[in-house]
Structure 1
Amino acid sequence: MGTHRPPVVMPDMKRRRASTGERIATIMTLARRLPLTRQVLADQLADATPSQMEFMESWMNAEIESRERSKRSRLLKAAGFPADKELGGYDWTPIRFPVDYGRGQITTLDFIAGHDDLVLFGPPGTGKTHLAIALGRNACRKGIPARYFTAAGLVMRLLRAQSDNRLDRELAAIGRTPLVCVQLVVAGLVT
């Protein structure tokens, strides 16, 4: 299945001459064919006017932001979160932290950079799943890949990969993901 790209919205041509419209169409066609080359860009900037440089800077910032938005959207979709949970409004009162660890290390996602495990456990209804999903979504918004599995779903996925003779690839793909959230349900209790 291919990715669906939104249609390109062309600039309003009512106030522009026909030759400008033709030039815009030509530029759009060229843009599909050419990624930027640093040296060519440097050569063009050497002769650019300040207003042309300002335009190029604005254009590149818009492109970077567009790519970052697309990446965040792809990461959120690929993560497989079952719900849209967020940290805002999360009730931290039932949570107990180890002496040397606290809310700051969790919400800033420092545990990911430190390659630390974070285990959330406790009785049902204390918000473990909510917190795991919210942290995962926060990671995706920061450009950090995350995946969400139920333990049963993960086991089934690995069994299917094994039967398809691709277990090593599946384990490697999961292992490359910086944040993997696994929800375990034991005898009707969510842990």
Structure 2
Amino acid sequence: MLKEELLNCCKVLRLSRGLVDNSEEIVAESHQAYLLELLQREIAHREKSKRDRLIKNAGFYTLKSFDDYRFDEVKLPSGVTQEYLKQTQFMEEQKNLILYGNVGTGKTHLAIAMGIAACRRGLSVGFYRTANLVNQLADAKKAGKLSKLLSTIKKFDLLICDEWGYVPLDREAAQLLFQVISDSYERRNVVLTTNLEFSRWVSIFYDEQMTAAIIDRLVHHSYLLLYDGPSNRMRDSLMRQDG
């Protein structure tokens, strides 16, 4: 009966049910020390729940970490170190990251690992395959819900656009994507992965002026990470065959 009343109090006060379980485990020298540890555990629980929720809501289609990531495949620009990326320090400096190189070289892996690191810092992240983002924007516009989707994107601290340039866009799609990038300029960090050099971006957007404007907004305040090695997936496949 007492436990049920405690659980009900937690519900009313919007505290976790784990508070009741913790109350049975804590041993302290005083009432205040007991209360302090109980509240500290509740705070830790809330912080973990927030981090887990941010990762879940980010839209990662798979989870990646830095544990098995090989930085020897990427050329880092001056001022950028492995630790700089792992700690997502580029976000404090309001820098964008453009990860450019061959397919299968680890660009998406690094983008996701940095996104998850940002979530664990309590920051809001949106991860999109660029083609899927464009489809969502187009569908939202047709349904009269474009403003709502754009408002959601504006709340992100970090926007990750994966596979940029893999699919050509029509004029309306290009304009919608331009709006997202324009809205993000100097407001939130953008990480972009692509295998298409800047000179060929006009083949995606079919408009030289719009292409130049997008490049200008993305490149300003950004670092370019170059991947010029062979595909990791191809290499791993060949290694399995050799074995």
Q: Secondary structure at the match of 1:101?
A: coil
**1:126 aligned partner:** 105
Is 2:107 the counterpart of 1:138?
no
Aligned partners of 1:158 and 1:35: how far apart in 2? 35
**1:105 aligned partner:** 84
Q: Which has the higher strand share?
A: 2
How far did residue 32 of structure 1 move?
A: 1.9
Letter in structure 1 aligned against 2:70: D
Q: How many residues align?
A: 157
Letter in structure 1 aligned against 2:57: A
Is 2:135 the counterpart of 1:156?
yes
Letter in structure 2 aligned against 1:102: T
**1:85 aligned partner:** 64
Letter in structure 1 aligned against 2:53: R
Q: Secondary structure at the match of 2:160?
A: strand
Letter in structure 1 aligned against 2:166: V
- CA gap of 1:103–1:32, structure 2 versus 1, over 3 A, is same
166-175 or 60-69, which deviates more: 166-175
Q: Secondary structure at the match of 1:120?
A: strand
Q: 1:167 aligns with which of 146, 152, 155?
A: 146
Q: Deviations over 1:72-119 (max 9, x none)?
A: 111111111111211012110121122233323211111112221111
Which protein, 1 or 2, shows the higher relative CO under an 8 Å CA cutoff with sep ≥ 6? 2
Q: 2:36 aligns with which of 43, 48, 57?
A: 57
How far did residue 62 of structure 1 move?
A: 1.2
Aligned partners of 2:84 and 2:156: how far apart in 1? 19
Structure 1 segments of 4+ aligned residues over 4 angstroms from their partners = none
Structure 2: where are the runs of 5+ without partners? 16-27, 168-192, 196-243
**2:13 aligned partner:** 34
Percent of aligned positions with the same letter in both sequences? 30
How far did residue 35 of structure 1 move?
A: 5.7
**1:66 aligned partner:** 45
Letter in structure 2 aligned against 1:181: I
Structure 1: where are the runs of 5+ without partners? 1-21, 37-48
Q: Secondary structure at the match of 1:88?
A: coil
- CA gap of 1:160–1:88, structure 2 versus 1, over 3 A, is same
**2:205 aligned partner:** none
Superposition TM-score, scaled by structure 2 size: 0.59
